[in-house]
Structure 1
Amino acid sequence: MAFPIVNSIISWFLKKRIHQIELFLKYPSDVQQELLLKLTYTARKTVFGQTHHFDTIKNYNDFAKHVPIQKYESIEPLIERCRKGEQNLFWPTQIKWFAKSSGTTNAKSKFIPVSNEALEYCHMKAGKDMLCLFINNNEETQLFTGKGLKLGGSSDIHEDGNSYFGDLSAIITENLPFWADYSSAPSQEVSLMAEWETKMEAIIDETIYEDITSLVGVPSWMLVLLNRVLERTGKDNILEVWPNLEVYFHGGVNFNPYREQYKKLIPKKDFQYYETYNASEGFFAIQDRNGSKELLLMLDYGIFYEFIPMKNYKGENSTTIPLSEVKTDVNYALVITTNSGLWRYLIGDTVRFTSLEPYRIKITGRTKHYINVFGEELNIENVEDALKLACEKTAATITDYTVGPIFMKDKNSGGHEWIIEFNEKPESMSYFTELLDNALKSINSDYEAKRYNSMALAMPKIHVAKKDLFYDWLKKRDKLGGQHKVPRLSNSRAFVDELLNL
């Protein structure tokens, strides 16, 4: 446990960063343009830089003209060469770390390059900023009188000849300074344990007698851990175990389905929830205000941003716009250029700007994870908002869910087939279904049009999943823990059929 004076010193040190954040808040376009030119200049002598004439790039238009938009498949050959030991291919400094994407499908794994610059000036810098913004908004915090409990992903680090690969959280843990163990739990040794369920028990053993003041992790897996802590200790809520708990930093999945369950587990009126937006490719945004549901886009992490309006989305053949041209309430696909050598990379996420001064966003989903079999254009944001409304009116809470299409057959309408695992089940499933359907109609006009007289879309079909169905499904696929997620929406029936068979 740290003394109050240590808490004050650490808080003062972290808050010094606020002045730098204020700089990109005041001059966002200048910061981004300067960053773009710095990235292209730095990589001008790499194989990729020479191929795409980086030495001639003077502005954003030059960059967009010379460098194509790319998906992983486009750059995979260079990444594979780098993994085998070749350097200076797409980034000039040595790259030996590769974050293996967890994904939600059986698709081939991706190996995302992670440079030393990205580790220091993006991922680790963001971790400090997350604390900085919280401290700046909560002057009386005693966060550093205790420890932060961090629940990372799969912690296997694999050596592959001249390189190493693993989950991003494992790479970060492997590169943390020695003193990090003093301020966080579990220990590095436990964090790097490979088998998820064994690690979960070891985390509980190490932390139930610690003074835990913050939590960090993906909501679905943190929920599993907290419930097991209560089972082990016999306590009624988490505050009886960790009375000084102040904040939960979460990301990875939408928090709305889990919010009510967390309120029951942590019954503290002034308890704070702070959302973050990060991925193997980079750390992008952080909630910067108490109680907000918007995320501040972080502009000085070595990441240059471009955007594709989803109404004009054509994958790698799309036309992008820079940050200076975005508008609020438009759904955009995110394109990034990073200090790990990802150039105009189509990450697959979609966002919507809620504010332009400063630039704040909400995550709306994935370019692939939506349902548009019948022209209904249903995205994650629509579904999460509708579920929230239905749950509020029926006092239901949800553990996990997935949705797939019911394809039209003969003269029968199509539809959406849902599998939902409830923590608290509604009294009437038919009423819940009706509420969900009506909420989707009110939120999405395309869905409403297709539902008219059930001509294209019939009423949603909902299956109530048995307890731990999704957990068992992920375990069967060796995808327990950390960044592994249940796929929410799909234009295919693959996930729905596989789960129904369980």
Structure 2
Amino acid sequence: MAVLNSFMTWIFKSRLGQIENFKRNPISVQENIFKELIEAGKNTEFGKEHGFADIKSYTDFISRVPIRNYDKFKPFIDKAMEGRDNVIWNRDIEWFAKSSGTTAGRSKYIPVTDESLEECHYKGGKDMVALYMANYPDSRLFAGKTLTIGGTLENNPLNPLGTARAGDISAVIMENLPFWAYFVRTPSKETALMGEWEAKIEKMALETMDEDVTCMAGVPTWTIVLLQRVLELKKAKHILEVWPNLEIFFHGAVAFGPYKSLFKELIPSEKMRYMETYNASEGFFGIQDQKDSDELLLLLDYGIFYEFISMEEWESEDPAVIPLSEVEVGKNYALVITTNGGLWRYKIGDTVKFTSTSPYRFRISGRTKQFINAFGEELIVENAEKAIQLAADQTGARIANFTAAPVYFDGSGAKGAHEWIIEFQKDPDDFKEFERLLDMHLREINSDYDAKRHKGLALIEPIIHHAPQGLFENWMRMRGKLGGQHKVPRLCNSREYVDEILGMLQKSESSDPV
């Protein structure tokens, strides 16, 4: 294994020169990516419709191609999913990454081309390791196994008999890994891609608990569930009793801050390292490249051309859009991407704030809409409003106001949850039934929430507080936000608002006469 570790380290470090090139020459690298993408799309249905043959400059591009969100781009994706060739890319598209978060349906499907797999997602995985090795040259990463939790795959819903398939981006990546990758990872592909999560976690724990795991990669939520099950099976106090050579956890998809203390309890070692990545269904955008900073390096030679909308312009019907060369440090920007996955001037809904422009480094600052994504559930306001209205209609209730936030994992072994504070204009006929229906409709509307709620593995049923009338008005008044355009935030990924309102609720309850 020592020889393998040295060889693999050399292979991955060979990429460092190319990373340095795009760090030193970011704008010229992006200009080359732009030209390559226009050439690739010129003879597609989308390219012909938008006059790609006449595009000679970035100015031509923005005058011909409007910015679109998923709902507006969906007709082009649907054509590709139905099996039509050359719609948004110049080669067949065999994979679609399934993701929730759209108002148009339960799931959205993002095209994944051969080019985006090789030149974006896989390149990101290689660079992640290369940058880690550069920061920690004493690493023994390849002396053991990398543990990864995959998603699930399914048939293409618009063409079930066709060759194209769909699934979580992690599952699409895992299904297409080169054969040699399976010598350095665990568990087996068959287990990692199982669809029934309770059985999957159990089998993963059984397969991995006796391996020499040196690295973990995945979403914190499911990783915690797996680690806790491994500890139960091995009757161990902490995970280093099971995997003494574990040295790194590559994490992404949800904010890591709330999980850090729990990971330190599960893995009590000052030598344990954590490295954030930003790999979405639409592309691999950033990697934490410095060991003393949580900033992410923007990845510029991945077949992605970046544009940005300042958050001051986001709600405008015709927002000002700028290329990478014009971004400023400290400002919030919404991401717009054109990719080798067949997305053209596509708004992904994420926001970033640059911390440096030499090289370009950033932090993820949130979403363009309110949301809860503490466990990978990607619950957006539209999901919440639709579910709560359905539950109210079915129980004769009327909603005055509500807000919700996550309850994070803690060291006691308690599961995560969503905590709601709801003020009714008219109370439901049966409050318990209202609670059940709200949870049920959230699961129907949002497939990622449903997966996390499955048998209570990661999320238990929602905690719902019945607020007295006037509570939200008093809270808004206390904050100086009453009236005008100010609105109660429906969802928040932190507990800032919920804890304030709960404090007021507890005071009002304690002051009630007995």
Q: Which residue of 2 aligns with 1:309?
A: 310
In structure 2, which of residues 447, 452, 457 is the aligned counterpart of residue 480 of structure 1? Answer: 452
Please say if 1:56 is aligned against 2:43: no
Query: Is 1:140 aligned to 2:138, yes or no?
Result: yes
Matches within 5 A, 1:49-128: 49-103=47-101, 107-128=105-126
- Give the deviation of 1:107 after TM superposition: 3.9
- Distance change in 2, residues 1:174/1:294 (3 Å): same
Q: Quick one: distance in 1 between partners of 2:21 and 2:93?
A: 30
Question: How many angstroms apart in 2 are the aligned matches of 1:353 and 1:142?
Answer: 33
Contact 1:251 1:277 in 2 (8 A): yes
Contact residue 146 and residue 211 of structure 1 kept, 8 A = yes
Give the residue type in structure 2 aligned to 1:324: S
Within 5 Å, which residues of 2 pair with 1:230-309?
A: 230-309=231-310
Change (3 A) 1:477 1:417: closer
Q: Please say if 1:331 is aligned against 2:332.
A: yes
Once the two structures are superposed, residues 183-229 of structure 1 have per-residue CA deviations (whole angstroms, 9 ceiling, x without a partner) of 10111111121111101111111111100000001011111111111
Deviations 1:361-402 (A, max 9, x none): 1001111126xxxxxxxx99xxx9xxxxxxxxxxxxx99999
Among the aligned pairs, what percent are the same residue?
Answer: 47
Query: Aligned in 2, Cα 1:140/1:74: closer, same or farther, shift over 3 Å?
Result: same
In structure 2, relative to structure 1, the CA distance for the partners of 1:106 and 1:226 (3 Å cut) is farther
Count how many residue pairs are aligned between Structure 1 and Structure 2: 422
Question: 2:211 maps to which residue?
Answer: 210
Q: How far off its partner does 1:108 sit?
A: 3.1
Q: CA 1:401 to 1:260, structure 2 compared with 1: closer, same or farther past 3 Å?
A: farther
Q: Structure 1 pair 490/302, CA: closer, same or farther in 2 (3 Å)?
A: farther
Q: Which amino acid aligns with 2:87?
A: L
Gaps of 5+ in 2: 386-399, 413-437, 463-486, 503-514
Task: Kindly indicate whether the alpha-carbon contact (under 8 Å) linking 1:52 and 1:66 is maintained by their aligned counterparts in 2.
Answer: yes
SS of corresponding position for 1:423: coil
1:493/1:6 CA distance change after superposition, 3 Å: closer
SS at match of 1:94: coil
Which residue identity is paired with 1:206? E
Q: CA deviation at 1:140?
A: 0.7
SS at 1:125's partner residue? helix
Amino acid at match of 1:22: E
Distance apart, 1:119 and its partner CA? 0.7
Greater alpha carbon shift after TM alignment, 361-370 vs 310-319 = 310-319
Amino acid paired to 1:328 = V
Mapping of residues 138-177 of structure 1, within 5 Å: 138-156=136-154, 160-162=160-162, 163-177=164-178
**Contact 1:134-1:288 at 8 Å conserved across structures:** yes
Task: Structure 1: give runs of 5+ residues left out of the alignment.
Answer: 371-378, 385-397, 407-412, 426-468
Quick one: which amino acid aligns to residue 289 of structure 1?
Answer: Q
1:11-26 alignment, distance < 5 Å: 11-26=9-24
CA distance in 1, matches of 2:10, 2:448: 47
In structure 1, the partner of 2:362 is 361
Which amino acid is 1:305 matched to?
Y
Partners of 1:401 and 1:418 within 8 A in 2: no
Q: Do the aligned partners of residues 35 and 403 (structure 1) sit closer, same or farther apart at CA in structure 2, a change above 3 Å counting?
A: closer
**Counterparts of 1:402 and 1:94 in 2: how far apart (Å)?**
32
Pairing partner for 1:423 from 410, 416, 436 = 410
Give the alignment's TM-score, normalised by structure 1.
0.77
Matched with 2:25 is 27
The DSSP-based 3-state class of the residue aligned with 1:149 is: strand
Per-residue Cα deviation, 1:252-299 (whole angstroms, up to 9, x for no partner) = 000000011111111111211000001111110000011421100000
Change (3 A) 1:363 1:285: same
Structure 1 residue 314 displacement after superposition:
2.6
Q: Write the letter of the residue equivalent to 1:285.
A: G
Residue of structure 2 aligned with 1:36, choices 34, 37, 45: 34
Q: Compute the displacement of 1:316 (Å).
A: 6.3
Matched residue, 1:440: none
Aligned CA RMSD, in angstroms, stands at 3.7
**Runs of 4+, deviation exceeding 6 Å:** 398-406, 473-476, 484-487, 493-497
Q: Sort the Cα spacing of 1:216 and 1:315 in 2 relative to 1 into closer, same or farther, 3 A.
A: farther
Question: Cα gap change, 1:492/1:143 in structure 2, threshold over 3 Å: closer, same or farther?
Answer: same
